[in-house]
Structure formats: structure tokens, C-alpha cells
Amino acid sequence: MSPLYGIVACGGQSSRMGKDKSLLDYYGRPQRDYLYDMLGPLCEKVFISCSREQAAGVAPGYLLVTDEDRYEGIGPMASLLSALGKFPSASFLVVGCDYPFVIKDHLQQLVAARAEKKDAVCFRNPETSFDEPLLAVYENSIHPVLLENFRLKKYSLRHFLSEVSTHALTPASADFLKSIDDDEGYKKARQALHPPFQ
């Protein structure tokens, strides 16, 4: 199989959160740095995927893939297209910064489920039946289809997963699939991860 690279998908400044979600602190450091280190043992290389503006604030020592200008404004698909454009022989384990409850075991499940005849592996939320496109492995076989979707202005990665050969893993619990999109959710997640002493 093709070499597996890791992508920490930072996204932009969330309108609901009001700040850069990749810089939120759940574990004593920016979430993007925390996920970068989590991906390290599972991938040959790991990259922080972000805009040029975000790249200016990334600490030295972290590998970067910045979004290509032509993909500006299309959402998370920009991360994947930019990474595949730069490393066409690699496949990518993509993790979004808004999943604070994800642990290494979850990512290992995705990697272990890779198969020669599958284009992608993702988690399917058992409560919503939605696929989670920012907790997924994308094989490099998807590149032509992804480019065609971009040409057609079809920018949804969730929809894309339904078009290609995807192996969806349905966990028993959806707790770790909770995405944090606003300040109230962030505070609740922090409390859940670091409960006060009783």
C-alpha cells in the first residue's frame, strides 16, 4: 500500500467559536500540536494543514502543508487537495482539530482498516449515521475523483465519502466523535476532560 502521511486539519477561524479552533487548549498545549504528536507513531510523516495566515503562527519544527490559493474558501477539501497535490504518491490520515475526545486507539482503528480495494476508511456516527470526513484515511486513488468534484464545485467531503469505495467503522459509542464548535462546547469539553477534584 502507499505510504501513509498524517494531516492535522486546522480549518479557519470558526464563526461560532470566534477564534482559531486549532489553538484551543485541551491538554496544556494547542490542539494542533497535540494531534500532530498523536499522529507521529502512525504515519511516515505528519503535517499541519492550514492557511497561509495560520502558518505564520506555527512553531518551528512542525511540517506544514498550506492550502493552495485556488482552493481558498472551499472548506476541509482544501486540506486534502493541497496535500495530494504536493505528495501524490501518499495516502493521508486526516484528523480535524475539533475532536478533543479522540485518542490514539481510535486512529489506530482507522489505519488497521485500510484495504487495497477501498478508497477511504472513516468513522460513522452511530447516533446520526453520518460519516466523519475529518476522522478518516484517504487513499491516493481518490485524487482524480476529488479533483473532478472540485471542478464541479462539489466541496463536501462527507458527500464525497458516499461516492467512493468507503469502509465505514461504526463504534459502539459516539462520545469521541463529538465535535466542538462554540465556546460553551469548549468549556464543557474542558470540564469533561479535566473534572474538578471531589
pLDDT, one tens digit per residue, over 133-188 is 999 999 999 999 999 999 999 999 999 999 999 999 999 999 999 999 888 998 99
Q: What CATH class is the domain 4-193?
A: alpha beta
Three-state secondary structure along 160-198? HHHHCCEEEECCCCCHHHCCCCCHHHHHHHHHHHCCCCC
Better-predicted residue by pLDDT, 81 or 183: 81
| C-alpha cell belonging to residue 180 | 466542538
Task: Give residue limits of the domains in the chain.
Answer: 4-193
Residue 48 φ then ψ, to 5°: -85, 125
Specify the pTM. Answer: 0.93
By three-state DSSP, how is residue 23 classified?
helix
Residue-wise pLDDT tens digits, 46-57: 999 988 888 888
Bridge partners for 137 per DSSP: 93, 121
Q: Is 54 within 8 Å of 10 (Cβ atoms)? A: yes
